[in-house]
Structure 1
């Protein structure tokens, strides 16, 4: 829920703070005062595309900073923490800056973040319903999106299951088509992989074989030096072969041990025992040295074989190893076998992939049928709820119908057999959804963007948006002058519907209708100010008296009109009574 938003140098707003609270916040002001910039500031704060033309002329940058209360364990807080930001208990601070040159910067929880992070947070915190929604609803797919949104989380699972099945089917189609395409590039790739595998399989390198060869080559190439090392060590232990005295380390240890043992002193006896243990270890070492020396070879033939093998492995490593050793060659071979299996265009492989494609198509068709059935059921519920809203908005003689039909198949594009019909398929399913407006029982209906006047379309859009809002999980909903072209009793009903919606959401409404403004829990006014030939706007939260003045101005054009003032007071009193009755 939004607490406060500060806007600086955005359009005509030089520096203003917009306070928010729970319930219904109404934003009013004269034409050109900057009400649109309030909505623009909110959307920028939550990641909307920026434009340098939004920056006040002569300013270096436009800035928007907002404070909102979020669930510390919810998705918005989690996304902020993932991006490196922090929360102050349950408060999250977001900021956006757009320079006059067009550069954009964003922060979340005190940390500089990509603008996309603000958009991710905004998905669960803010939605904007505006006059642009009327145009958007006429675009292909937009009416289907309305129906899917109405279905909520349960319907989203059915939609996701279809999308995953459709994606798997198309992946299988592409894999098979790639193999069936006998292009030179694939053939070259197959030939190179097979050539490399044949080289490696002929050489048959073994794990760590290069290290073992290096060790053996070192022993063979240094046989004389190793024999000398062994002889020197053995002589030091046992004494030189030609010596007749006890000059080796073994003999000297024995002499030392006997001398200590003959002393008859307990402490020296202990040392004598330790020397005896050393003597045992020394004789073991002497034995191992003897065995190692006997195994030293300087076989030049064996050395030549090893050097040839080393050169063979080195060539493999140079050609196929990314890590510079035999392990890299073996890894390349394993990957090459996997790639060959993927590129294998044999009849058996093609037959297997064709079967996989057909199975995937069957699963996608079943998921499409389930999605169509769910949409058809939802359509009946949606049109019923919209028509109930229209009756409350002085459109009781008109009705909408939500039609779900099968999308015709188009040659060259994906198609699925759903039931007995071949239907055109894409990521959204095999359905076409149209919302029609009919006037009277005998009217078959026309598309709502063609069958409604401007005022009717505004009320229909509001009815749709109020119905959708009931399934929308976002905390804050912004309605930007969706009441254009409406007046009288219908305007009161619009205020009543928005007030009812504000019991479950924080609702912000930009309006020019006093009947809507009368239902406000918080009323904010944007005023134009001229200074030095420059027009700027200020934002102020209205108290009870100022609010009465503003509604009087909206009704009569003058804030001091006695009749307008009485009418404004009557509107506010009636709205308060409405809200009290609804809260019971």
Structure 2
């Protein structure tokens, strides 16, 4: 529950600190005094959108701080710890929200958090019901949501299973449609891949074969030039022009140099080292001369081999022009293409598998949808009975609520249509909620719904004190109600407040008289403009406020007498 809320520079409120307690707390005040700012502050604490326009004129920022009492193992406590915050030893957690021009900041349990974190725990902290909620409850979707909430956690879990099956079925349907629509495209791609792989398989290239062939073509195409170069090199080294008797041997000249050095090495060891190096050069030159001689002997013109190499290189070039710059690129493409072809060929198998899964999900959706519908119909009967009972106490004794759950085509929320209808008096036809009812009747019907839903929530709590239940906030849901009905509205809210904390913003003295705590929002004009404050009133001050609400004159004796009668009668039956 909310133990305390402090507001600074929010709208017309410069500074206010309000201590709250369990039970029924009402907030009253003159029109325009700033009652809605209290709820605006509460909305900020619950992660609502921050509008810089709510900052009090002349102030740089606004701040709202709330102290909530939470259960030790509640979802709120766990989320606080996940966000890095902490819950005090007494089980309280502080929520702070600041709003400045263009930005807002949120703190949870002493740690800065994104605004969304507050929104995540909002439903656990408080449930706000206002005139806007009455309008929303006129829609079929909100009526369905209200009925599902009334049905309880087991029903919501069943609905969650249905929605999961529906979501999977929808995703599979989209994927099947995509596969089917792209079947021709996939077939064309597969055919192109098969043709390419067949061509690569026919040519059967080896890694690096193109480089080898290019070297072979260069050699066979330049045999004569290679022969001349090798012959000249051999003559320079061996001194033997092939086919000639001349002898000009570089090897012999090196040998002579070696011998000369060796003969003088005894007189100078340095020459011995040089002789060794010259000998090594001689051996190397002799080896090269021998290899050149063998190279020239093996170098034969091979027009047929050259033609074969050119033809093979042309085949490889055809592949590289299409599938890569080199043969190695072609081989990599072939490997990737093979894997892609397997994936494409597997499309039919995947399609069969998805179709089978879709059929399974269809059966599951029918089964779960039937169970959801049955749960809604059972809950609908209970909700109609509970609301009708509430209406009897709200001066609508002949009215009743009907909850219709009709079969419809399966959808993401089930296979039925939920409709709330009101029978305003015996013999009258049932009409969809919100049609044909006066403003006062509609307010009472909506209040009866809210009380029935809240009462069901309290009955499901772990104990009779409403542990773990959120705070219920009602924002002028009694609008358009007066007289005896207004008294019954107050009584219903007081009964609800026995189980959990209830905060009500009201303009009706008949409702305010039932409060356990009465807060008044007041405004006054000063040097700094209009200033609004919030204070608790008791005893005579409370009587004066009720008198003001009744007649607009807080000092009227008749109004004071009426206020005292309301306070006395509000204790009866509580």
Give the TM-score normalised by the residue count of structure 1.
0.70
Q: Give the structure 2 partner of residue 35 of structure 1.
A: 35
Deviates more, 1:155-164 or 1:183-192: 183-192
Root-mean-square deviation (Å): 3.2
- CA deviation map 1:108-145 (0-9, x unaligned): 01111111111122111100010001111123411111
Q: Give the structure 1 partner of residue 396 of structure 2.
A: 395
Following superposition, the deviation at residue 534 of structure 1 comes to: 2.1
Say whether the 8 Å CA contact 2:140–2:418 is kept in structure 1: no
Say whether the 8 Å CA contact 1:59–1:100 is kept in structure 2: no
Say whether the 8 Å CA contact 2:490–2:511 is kept in structure 1: yes
- Does 2:59 align with 1:59? yes
- Does 2:115 align with 1:115? yes
Q: Give the structure 1 partner of residue 221 of structure 2.
A: none
Q: 2:569 aligns with which of 564, 567, 574?
A: 574
Q: Give the structure 1 partner of residue 323 of structure 2.
A: none
Label 1:3 to 1:313 Cα distance change in 2 as closer, same or farther (>3 A). farther
- CA deviation map 1:57-86 (0-9, x unaligned): 232222111011111221101001111111
Say whether the 8 Å CA contact 1:458–1:484 is kept in structure 2: yes
For 1:94 and 1:166, how far apart are their aligned partners in 2? 38
- Does 2:137 align with 1:137? yes
Q: Give the structure 1 partner of residue 17 of structure 2.
A: 17
For 2:162 and 2:446, how far apart are their aligned partners in 1? 29
Q: Give the structure 2 partner of residue 415 of structure 1.
A: none
Say whether the 8 Å CA contact 2:490–2:514 is kept in structure 1: yes
Label 1:185 to 1:10 Cα distance change in 2 as closer, same or farther (>3 A). farther
Q: 1:460 aligns with which of 436, 439, 445?
A: 445
- Show the 5 A alignment for 1:83-482: 83-89=83-89, 90-101=91-102, 103-182=103-182, 341=343, 344-346=346-348, 348-407=349-408, 423=409, 425-472=410-457, 474-482=469-477
For 2:62 and 2:332, how far apart are their aligned partners in 1? 58
Give the TM-score normalised by the residue count of structure 2.
0.71
For 2:96 and 2:569, how far apart are their aligned partners in 1? 39
Q: 1:561 aligns with which of 556, 561, 571?
A: 556
Q: Give the structure 2 partner of residue 524 of structure 1.
A: 519
Following superposition, the deviation at residue 453 of structure 1 comes to: 0.7
For 2:423 and 2:539, how far apart are their aligned partners in 1? 43
Following superposition, the deviation at residue 151 of structure 1 comes to: 0.6
- CA deviation map 1:416-447 (0-9, x unaligned): xxxxxxx2x32211211111111333222111
Following superposition, the deviation at residue 351 of structure 1 comes to: 3.2
Following superposition, the deviation at residue 450 of structure 1 comes to: 1.0
For 1:197 and 1:570, how far apart are their aligned partners in 2? 97
For 1:46 and 1:190, how far apart are their aligned partners in 2? 56
For 1:195 and 1:471, how far apart are their aligned partners in 2? 70
- Show the 5 A alignment for 1:490-509: 490-509=485-504
Q: Aligned to 1:141, what secondary structure does the other structure show?
A: helix
Q: Aligned to 1:357, what secondary structure does the other structure show?
A: helix
Q: Give the structure 2 partner of residue 539 of structure 1.
A: 534
For 1:383 and 1:116, how far apart are their aligned partners in 2? 36
Label 1:504 to 1:80 Cα distance change in 2 as closer, same or farther (>3 A). same
Q: How many residues align?
A: 443
Q: Aligned to 2:570, what secondary structure does the other structure show?
A: helix
For 1:343 and 1:34, how far apart are their aligned partners in 2? 70
Q: Aligned to 1:449, what secondary structure does the other structure show?
A: coil
For 1:9 and 1:521, how far apart are their aligned partners in 2? 28
Label 1:146 to 1:196 Cα distance change in 2 as closer, same or farther (>3 A). farther
Runs of 4+ in 1 over 4 A off after TM superposition: 183-199, 312-320, 339-343
Label 1:27 to 1:179 Cα distance change in 2 as closer, same or farther (>3 A). same
For 1:15 and 1:158, how far apart are their aligned partners in 2? 47
Q: Give the structure 2 partner of residue 551 of structure 1.
A: 546
Gaps (5+ residues) in structure 2? 206-325, 458-467
For 2:58 and 2:413, how far apart are their aligned partners in 1? 46
Following superposition, the deviation at residue 577 of structure 1 comes to: 3.1
- CA deviation map 1:26-80 (0-9, x unaligned): 1000000111111111111011122222222232222111011111221101001
Label 1:361 to 1:45 Cα distance change in 2 as closer, same or farther (>3 A). same
Q: Aligned to 1:450, what secondary structure does the other structure show?
A: coil
Say whether the 8 Å CA contact 2:123–2:470 is kept in structure 1: no
Task: Answer with 1 or 2: which has the greater Rg.
Answer: 2
Label 1:182 to 1:130 Cα distance change in 2 as closer, same or farther (>3 A). same
Deviates more, 1:157-166 or 1:527-536: 527-536
Q: Aligned to 1:474, what secondary structure does the other structure show?
A: coil
For 2:480 and 2:14, how far apart are their aligned partners in 1? 30
Gaps (5+ residues) in structure 1? 204-311, 321-328, 408-422, 580-584
Q: Aligned to 1:87, what secondary structure does the other structure show?
A: coil
For 1:533 and 1:456, how far apart are their aligned partners in 2? 43
For 2:197 and 2:453, how far apart are their aligned partners in 1? 60
